[in-house]
Structure 1
């Protein structure tokens, strides 16, 4: 989940946002469970308790954004992409794509394309939900308001392997485009068929955070364990048509949190 420090400050929030270290004394102290994590590993010794957020259908969608390479590690995305802001994990099928799947879209990356993503890349998409009565918009600031500065937050996460193939998943099926259901702002749908999501307590993510510089925000995560192929042309269409989020590029990643003291146990 992307870090939006300036947006939060601009929104007047009272929330103060907070290389993985191998030295325990360098770990941040006093913070709740952190994210991202290896969702196959259920252990954790951070027992800071907060109530898990309601199901996504009972909350307002407030933001959609992507990270290039998966921030989490899971059964379907376990190939290391290295460290740093552009590290993370790749889908397991990355090396088995065809030449056609890897071909650049007609016209390549023009000014209307979603920047920072090409066929063959892995992306992790975050649908962010808030308990506040808000409308979807740019950054995490869209998830709170002057009358609701400490919302419950939930992120639905799906990792995609981006291909040039119209038969792959269409991102516009998961777009917002002004959709509302039972009074809640909602995407048109969420991905399905990629395994039962792993639900756990965590935090916000993004490259500004490490195991030494932690996020104080409390987030309920729901991460699908398998990748799905996604048509890059539909991702470009989303950037062009679902303008409310002002997303025109894919963001960096926070490195995997491995210290047990910073992870909540997964039930």
Structure 2
């Protein structure tokens, strides 16, 4: 019982980064405050959240946090941990995505706005341009939720989560843990995509394909042509951490260039997948406090 309880507590700490579509702790938090009209909060609300994050973490020993501006390398957080192994030496345990990029930098620097103050309609968008054909509405809802559906032209940030534990891909980040290892190393391979109405664009089912390779569960088609990934030490994310620190240590690997994906294939994936994902998740405020950021090695 004690072993299982510890595992459950660790899993609960992971969940605010992302929780499954059917049982989402941070979605529950959001739902109690979300406006049916998705009203945009003022700058003062975001400033207050940042102030509370600083207050709630000051002097408590929290490690570096995520997400961040990947083009800004400075950081003053003194907590260190060993980087997770390469993804090829770990088990893929979860795939999920957020509407708009949680990270800023590279080709996703256009601020989506403050959003509702709880992670929706905020984050960063693709800063490039798309053709009228790519932006043409598809005529039906894609991955709908109470926070809205996806549309052509939208940006998503996909997290391919990996664990050193002996686990299989599944719903929620609880799938990245097991009773045998209480503190597995975690790595998130990150790719930002822009959704386009174009059948010749990438197929999301291919991008989310995984298979057993050398006795490990591997994501088979994470893009390799979207720039050298920026690797840094961070934490779990999600809007549940807008005002409190995340206690989990995560090695992040964020690709700076955006890839185009056929929006219809994202919708098809949302209709059924092993991860129980059926909608986009909210984003955590960009972490800007130097005391909560690691230094990015160049």
TM-score by length of 1: 0.88
Cα-to-partner distance string for 1:79-129 (whole Å, 9 max, x where unaligned): 001123120100012xx3223212233x512xxx42332111110000000
Which residue does 1:219 correspond to in 2? 250
CA spacing shift, 1:234–1:146, aligned 2, 3 Å: same
SS in 2 for 1:12: helix
Give, in angstroms, the shift of residue 263 of structure 1.
Answer: 0.1
Q: Distance in 1 between matches of 2:55 and 2:5?
A: 27
Q: Distance in 1 between matches of 2:12 and 2:92?
A: 23
SS in 1 for 2:251: strand
Which residue does 1:165 correspond to in 2? 198
SS in 1 for 2:157: strand
Q: Distance in 2 between matches of 1:9 and 1:239?
A: 32
Q: Distance in 2 between matches of 1:9 and 1:257?
A: 31
Q: 1:183-202, aligned counterparts within 5 Å?
A: 183-202=215-234
Which of 1 and 2 has higher RCO (CA within 8 Å, sep 6+)?
A: 1
**2:32 aligned with 1:36:** no
Contact 1:12/1:146, CA 8 A, preserved across alignment: no
Which residue does 1:205 correspond to in 2? 237
Give, in angstroms, the shift of residue 261 of structure 1.
Answer: 0.1
Query: Unaligned stretches of 5+ in structure 1?
Result: 1-7
Contact 1:16/1:216, CA 8 A, preserved across alignment: no
**1:125 aligned residue (145, 153, 158):** 158
SS in 1 for 2:81: coil
**Dislocated runs of 4+, deviation >6 Å:** none
Which residue does 2:96 correspond to in 1? 65
Q: Distance in 2 between matches of 1:124 and 1:14?
A: 24
Which residue does 2:33 correspond to in 1? none
Contact 1:21/1:27, CA 8 A, preserved across alignment: no
Contact 1:13/1:149, CA 8 A, preserved across alignment: no
Q: Distance in 2 between matches of 1:258 and 1:74?
A: 13
CA spacing shift, 1:16–1:168, aligned 2, 3 Å: closer
**2:140 aligned residue (108, 112, 122):** 108
Contact 1:203/1:218, CA 8 A, preserved across alignment: yes
TM-score by length of 2: 0.79
Contact 2:161/2:188, CA 8 A, preserved across alignment: yes
**2:8 aligned with 1:12:** yes
SS in 1 for 2:291: helix
Contact 1:13/1:146, CA 8 A, preserved across alignment: no
SS in 2 for 1:126: strand
Q: Distance in 2 between matches of 1:230 and 1:54?
A: 28
Q: 1:169-184, aligned counterparts within 5 Å?
A: 169-176=202-209, 179-184=211-216
**2:125 aligned residue (90, 93, 107):** 90
